[in-house]
Amino acid sequence: MTQPSLNTEPSPADRPESEPWLALYLHIPFCHVRCTYCAFNIYTKREGLIAPYMAALRREIALAAGSARRPALSAYFGGGTPSLVPAGEIAATLDACRSAFALQQDAEITLELNPESADEAYLRALRQTGINRLSIGMQSAHASELELYARLHTLADVRQAVWRARAAGFENISLDLIYGSPRQTLSMWQDSLHAALALEPEHISFYGLTIEEGTTFERWSRSGRIAEPDPDLAADMYEWATDTLDAAGFEQYEISNWARPGRESRHNLQYWRCEPYLGLGAGAHGYANGVRYDTALRPEAYIARIDSQRAPQEFPLTAAVEHIEVIDPPTAMAEWMIMGLRLVRDGIDPAEFRARFGLSLEAIYGSAIEPLREVGLLETGPAGQLRLTQRGRLLGNQVFVAFI
């Protein structure tokens, strides 16, 4: 593959004087089964590749870092099913991160966990590696929904996973849920959220189901086996959940994410704030040094690419990189708007926009902002920030398209 030259060093307005903090995303593409809604880069029946894959991932970590030992504030093992990976491999990979990067002493280190893999000894071993945050894929409290999603766990497994995680010393747990799915009623959704709250997590994420191309759900939808999601019902579910979580003491900080005070995902905030992150592993996406990139999808190809690298490449690239896009100023501004508006409390600070891009928010986007204010989708917050209204949170895509 031929790659263009990367003369992309940001201007002083694009980055602080000191080296910016990075977030590290580590993709684990292995699963026992593919969930019916899943469009991620995952592979089943590849357990024999886990050890060579993790060895290649550790080599990529060193290659991506180069000799600079740049500072990092978080590491996130996502997937796929990271909890399929033995704790020893996780420990060795975190050691590679610490060797290659100046990982913050109190870095947030997250691992996505499937409830059925929450073995007591495994959780204790994970905690000893330095993993200090778990993101548990609960999805639903209803057996019928879990079966529809091809999930391998039960509500009892979720409860046991949380209890075992607490016993292992985890003090920061997030639960993931899905709403607006086929055959889901409002009362079913309410049951699921109440069941999640009963487990007293520090963080809750919930996502409105979309039927993605190439998924089992897409095939079932085309054949009439399942109905398309009902947007009006999904809106009712979202509004009810927002009120319920607010009453339970959670703070909404992003369209789909709620946290106890101080428990926001520092790693994910890096994405929404358009700060640099490295995507490492097969099919990972990254953004650093003014470049967005993605890596080879198939684990076998990824391993071969990494094993073949002989000469260093420009940060943040490695031999695994398939595509790159140099982010020009108009694209950077549009992404800043779209991602920043997802942060429902913080929104867009006009002064920060000017400091980053050297232009005023009104000069660039005034003609897009005012019509959205007039129809009640955008507002000015108490600190002067531009942010979504309550109604705007339900119609976010209609807002975001105005900045593309």
CA quadruple 339, 345, 347, 349: dihedral, nearest 10: -140
Q: How many residues does the chain have?
A: 404
Q: How many CA atoms lie within 13 A of 294 on its CB side?
A: 6
The 10s digit of each residue's pLDDT in 326-372 is 999 999 999 999 999 999 999 999 999 999 999 999 999 999 999 99
Cβ atoms of residues 158 and 199 within 8 Å = yes
Mode of pairing for the β-strands spanning 285-288 and 291-295:
antiparallel
Q: What is the pTM of this model?
A: 0.93
State the helix-helix crossing angle for 87-100 and 50-65, rounded to 10 degrees.
Answer: 10
Q: Which residue type does 390 have?
A: Q
Q: For residues 254 and 264, what is the distance between their CA atoms, to the nearest angstrom?
A: 9
CA 302 to chain CA mean position, Å: 21
pLDDT for res 66:
85
pLDDT for res 10:
34
Q: What is the mean pLDDT of residues 317-322?
A: 95
Band the pLDDT of 255: cuts 50, 70, 90: very high
The 10s digit of each residue's pLDDT in 270-285 is 999 999 999 999 999 9
Query: Can you tell me whether residue 322 is helix, strand or coil?
Result: strand
**Residue boundaries of the structural domains of the chain:** 17-272, 330-403
Helix locations, 224-328, DSSP H:
231-247, 266-272, 299-308
* DSSP string covering 180-246: S-TT--HHHHHHHHHHHHHT--SEEEEEE----TTSHHHHHHHHTSSPPP-HHHHHHHHHHHHHHHH
Q: For residues 76 and 130, what is the distance between their CA atoms, to the nearest angstrom?
A: 12
Q: Is residue 88 pLDDT above 90, yes or no?
A: yes
Q: What's the CATH code, domain 330-403?
A: 1.10.10.920
Backbone angles phi, psi at 346, to 5 degrees: -80, -40
Band the pLDDT of 16: cuts 50, 70, 90: very low
The 10s digit of each residue's pLDDT in 181-234 is 999 999 999 999 999 999 999 999 999 999 999 999 999 999 999 998 999 999
Domain at 17-272, CATH class: alpha beta
Q: Is residue 47 pLDDT above 70, yes or no?
A: yes
In three-state form (DSSP H/G/I as H, E/B as E, the rest C), the secondary structure along 343-361 is CCCCCECHHHHHHHHCCCH
Band the pLDDT of 8: cuts 50, 70, 90: very low
